[in-house]
Structures are given as C-alpha cells and as structure tokens.
Structure 1
Amino acid sequence: MGMVFKPSVRKGGEFFGLPGPISKFQVQDAWDYERYKVLLEDGDGTVGISRNGVDITIQGEVGSIDGEPVLSEVEMLEALETLRTALDTSDEELLEFFLYRDDEAEEYRYFRQCSVSRFRYELSRPELYEYSLILHADDPVMQTS
C-alpha cells in the first residue's frame, strides 16, 4: 500500500487519527537570527541563524475517522472529546505527530516533541462539526522511521 497521508497523534504508544476530511494543513518553519546594519553602507548582516520549532496548523471536519464515517452529532462530539483527551499532555509526555504512515511496513514521517498550542471546535452546524488545531513541534526535523 505504501505511505499514505494519515494525520494522527501518538501518545503513550497509541495512535489517535485526526477526524477528516482535512481542509487545511500548514507547516510553518521559522528561524532565529540577529541582523545588524553598518552605518553609511548598503545592505546589512545576519548572524546566529538557527532553526526554531515548527508550527503545524490543521483545519478539518468531523466526517470520518481513519476512513470510517461519523454520522451523528453524538458520534462527532465523542470523536472530538477523544481527540481532546489525546491532545492533553504534560512536560514529561509530549506527543508525536504523524503526517504519513505505512502501518504494514512500519514506515512513518512524523514530528517529535509536540504540544498543543490551541484546539478549537465549532458545534453550531449539527450536520458537520468543524475543528482547528495548532501544534508546536520543539524538534524541527521531520523524522523518518
């Protein structure tokens, strides 16, 4: 089957798939540096460049989980509550966030040392709940295993 886009978090060795479909998925890298300007000379100088952690922004709807349809309001709310519980971490237990998975071959693309910056969900449309999630990965390197 190969690697497939299957966003999920792993906490305590257990995978929690994000509800879908996902309408927006962004990974934002940032760098830290010091920029200085020499007087009366064109241009400037940049020193001390280092990579910050990565911010991951996801927006989706609660229509399915791991390919299985979620149909009722109760099922959608339960899916959000399960995800909300899985996203709750401590300093000692950070998440791993998986983008691509091949469970048969045990190959993954993921970020380590992740924590949740914000989790918001919208319950005003009973036919389809929506959510947005912002994760921060302290380690900016996308892991391969």
Structure 2
Amino acid sequence: MAGLWFEDFKEGMVIDHAITRTITEADNMTFCAMTYNTQPLHIDRHFAAKTEFGRPLVNSLLTLGAMIGMSVTETTLGTTIANLGMSDVAFPAPVFHGDTLRVRTTVGECRKSKSRPSAGIVRFRHEAFNQDGVLVASCERAAFMHRRPEA
C-alpha cells in the first residue's frame, strides 16, 4: 500500500508524482470507442486537420482520468473509501497524441468526518502539465479517506 492515511496529509503539501505518461493515438481512439464519443475532433484526422488545431485532440475526459489516475499511487492507493466529487475542472491547453503528461497534487482542506470517526475528507488540487511544462488540465477533488487504524 503506497497511499497515505488521512493523518499523513497536511494542508499545502505538494506532491510531484513520479509517474509520467505519454498519451498515444491508440489510447485516445480506444477511450473514445469505449465511451461512444464520436466527436470527429478526436477520431477523424482529416476533419481535425481543417480545425485551428490542425490535428486530433485527445479526449478531455481521458486527460482528466489520466491526471487523477497518475496521482493515486502516492495519495490514495489502498487508503481511500471513495471519491466524493470533482469540481472546477479546466482544460486550459489541448493535449495531442504523443504528449507526455506529468501531474502535481496540492493538498487543500483536511477535516475529520462528522459521521464516521474512522474517516476524513481531503481536498486535492490536481494539475497536469505536458512535456513543455504547459498546464493542460486541472481539477479539485474531494476524497473520503481512511484514518490510520489504531494499533
């Protein structure tokens, strides 16, 4: 278990995640097929070539999922009860096939659960950057976390 217990998180704590990920055309096409997203901007190279981007964009929900997924090992692996929600999701720059993402997480508010003494709520701000350091995605996430078990 690599995740942190509720008590391990401190407001303002910053984690630059070790895992990076290059997003491939196959990743994007598979994700679009799995989610029934037929937007030609994602799946049609000739259509996308005629847009301001000149090439297909990676589906933003794939970017969001990768960003959060890349944070799991060093934050919530084995120590989370559930995600409570995501908000303030933004995609300030596009992601293209071949871009490599890295993720930074900043810990926000941490509070003990009022209804479950063995749990707490941690707010995370996740940010994804491409290989050039450009911010491509961000979101706020609330996680329902286990507190450290008593020995």
TM-score of the superposed pair, with normalisation by structure 2: 0.27
Structure with greater proportional helix content: 2
Higher relative contact order, structure no. (Cα contacts within 8 Å, ≥ 6 residues apart): 2
